[in-house]
């Protein structure tokens, strides 16, 4: 009896000492093929008045596409087309915010981001900066945003990043590539219309889809894993395997990948990503390689850390005849490798999640450089 009481007491004490994260979720979501048509109804009650516009930030892929005709423009609402050729930058956010402030006397009613992770992140950042002083780079980090952002709606047109659910917006700043991680980053409303992804080219579909697959593998194999993350991660992984390795009818496959992205994003919200992401950040910082393909370039060489995941990945690459560039790091100097290694090792939480508290003894700079040299 005595032992049992002691045990119980210990458990309660440890619970009291643990501080669990209280993170926000997207409060409203519409899902379904063609649901984009409901955007007008969703926005109507959120309009402050006829002078307070909605600003639509849209991937410029759609500039001459029929989707533009379906945007519920009213009064002085504005559409701004943005290229997703490069990943979003802090100065780009500042420029859009300045343009909006100079064009309109009233604060807008809201920001709507339509596109892939690039546009979804840009729209989140613009919504934050419209309600907070200073520059985007001031808020790169954790919980530096003090005032709620402007009402913002996210509408993904490609599936995988989980940016539609996450509490971060990843920006390339003058000094670092780092997210604005805050409770005010998360979207107020998301519209998930799988039909918007019909036009995604095959390789891009694969690379962005693999971002989701790698989120699952890194979350499920991490030391930070808990039942919350696991429940979302397992579902997302199951959906990725259906989409990329089984013969699911195409429309159903678009539905499933969109939900995989959502669940994958939820899984890492309460855990963390791992080695592929840390190393991909280095590639993006030094060479401008985009997130999805950068993850794939790294992940193919991580079999010693994620044996089952990497095996599945190779099967997926083969099934879809995906060509991964080779020799990407072939001509780099030692100085370049030092930058790659420093940026990657700077992502401490990712390494701790992947390899445990002792990660610095496991992943030395030399070992990390050897992996980069294979890419
Ligand atoms: P993306 O937004 O960079 O777009 C990739 C390409 O696909 C672009 O050429 C774009 O024009 C095109 N595209 C998008 N939708 C299309 C469509 N329906 N039809 C045809 N072409 C289309 O791609 P992504 O992989 O979704 O996003 C990558 C970005 O997401 C990176 O900047 C990365 O840092 C960010 N990211 C953010 C989070 C987060 O939680 N905030 C998570 C992961 C990645
Ligand atoms: Zn990712």
Q: What is the pLDDT of residues 117-135, one digit of tens each?
A: 999 999 999 999 999 999 9
Hey, whose CA ends up nearest to atom 2 of ligand 1? 116
121 CA distance to ligand 1 middle (Å): 9
Rounded to 5 degrees, what are φ and ψ at 326?
A: -120, 160
Q: Provide the pLDDT for residue 130.
A: 98
User: What is the overall mean pLDDT for the chain?
Assistant: 95
101 CA distance to ligand 2 middle (Å): 32
Q: What is the mean pLDDT of residues 63-83?
A: 98
- pLDDT tier at 17, thresholds 50, 70, 90: low
Hey, whose CA ends up nearest to atom 3 of ligand 1? 118
pLDDT for 1 beyond 60: no
Q: What angle do CA 216, 220, 221 make, to 5 degrees?
A: 120
74 CA distance to ligand 2 middle (Å): 35
160 CA distance to ligand 2 middle (Å): 8
pLDDT tens-digit series, residues 146-162: 999 999 999 999 999 99
Hey, whose CA ends up nearest to atom 24 of ligand 1? 117
Contact by Cβ (8 Å): 195, 250: no
Q: What is the mean pLDDT of residues 256-267?
A: 98
Contact by Cβ (8 Å): 117, 93: no
Ligand 1: residues whose CB is within 6 Å? 59, 61, 84, 87-88, 115-119, 121, 157-158, 160-163, 166, 168-170, 196-197, 199-200, 204, 208, 211, 290-292
Nearest ligand 1 atom to the CA of 83 is 11
pLDDT tens-digit series, residues 300-352: 999 999 999 999 999 999 999 999 999 999 999 999 999 999 999 999 999 99
Q: Which long-range contacts (CB under 8 A, 24 or more apart) does 15-20 make?
A: none
pLDDT tens-digit series, residues 79-97: 999 999 999 999 999 999 9
**Ligand lying nearest the CA atom of residue 298:** 2
> What is d(CA 154, CA 189) in angstroms, rounded to the nearest whole number?
6
Alpha helices in 44-182 (DSSP H): 90-103, 117-131
> What is d(CA 34, CA 84) in angstroms, rounded to the nearest whole number?
23
pLDDT for 6 beyond 90: no
pLDDT for 164 beyond 50: yes
**Ligand lying nearest the CA atom of residue 290:** 1
% of the chain exceeding 90 in pLDDT = 92
Question: Which residues, by Cβ under 5 Å, contact ligand 2, an ion?
Answer: 211
pLDDT for 196 beyond 90: yes
pLDDT for 15 beyond 70: no
Q: Provide the pLDDT for residue 334.
A: 98
Hey, whose CA ends up nearest to atom 16 of ligand 1? 200
Hey, whose CA ends up nearest to atom 14 of ligand 1? 116
């Amino acid at each position: 009896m005595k032992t049992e009481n002691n045990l119980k007491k210990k458990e309660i004490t440890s619970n009291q000492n643990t501080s669990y994260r209280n993170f926000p979720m997207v409060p409203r979501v519409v899902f379904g093929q063609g649901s984009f048509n409901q955007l007008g109804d969703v926005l109507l009650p959120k309009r402050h008045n006829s002078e307070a516009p909605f600003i639509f930030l849209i991937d410029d892929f759609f500039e001459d596409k029929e989707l533009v005709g379906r945007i519920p423009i009213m009064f002085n609402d504005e559409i701004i087309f943005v290229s997703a050729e490069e990943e979003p930058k802090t100065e780009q956010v500042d420029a859009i915010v300045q343009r909006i402030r100079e064009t309109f006397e009233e604060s807008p009613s809201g920001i709507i981001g339509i596109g892939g992770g690039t546009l979804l992140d840009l729209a989140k950042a613009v919504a934050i900066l419209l309600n907070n002083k200073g520059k985007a780079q001031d808020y790169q980090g954790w919980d530096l945003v003090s005032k709620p952002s402007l009402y913002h709606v996210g509408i993904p047109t490609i599936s995988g990043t989980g940016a539609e659910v996450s509490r971060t917006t990843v920006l390339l700043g003058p000094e670092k590539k780092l997210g604005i991680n805050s409770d005010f980053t998360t979207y107020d409303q998301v519209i998930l219309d799988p039909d918007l992804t019909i036009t995604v080219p095959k390789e891009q579909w694969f690379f962005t889809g693999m971002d989701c697959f790698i989120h699952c593998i890194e979350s499920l194999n991490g030391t930070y894993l808990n039942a919350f993350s696991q429940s979302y991660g397992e579902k997302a992984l199951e959906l990725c395997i259906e989409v990329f390795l089984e013969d699911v009818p195409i429309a159903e496959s678009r539905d499933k990948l969109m939900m995989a992205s959502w669940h994958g994003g939820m899984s890492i919200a309460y855990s963390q990503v791992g080695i592929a992401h840390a190393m991909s950040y280095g590639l993006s910082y030094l060479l401008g390689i985009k997130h999805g393909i950068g993850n794939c370039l790294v992940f193919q060489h991580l079999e010693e850390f994620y044996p089952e995941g990497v095996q599945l990945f190779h099967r997926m690459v083969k099934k879809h005849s995906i060509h991964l560039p080779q020799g990407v790091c072939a001509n780099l100097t030692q100085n370049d490798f030092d930058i790659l290694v420093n940026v990657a090792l700077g992502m401490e939480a990712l390494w701790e999640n992947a390899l445990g508290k002792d990660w610095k003894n496991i992943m030395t700079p030399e070992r990390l450089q050897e992996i980069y040299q294979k890419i």
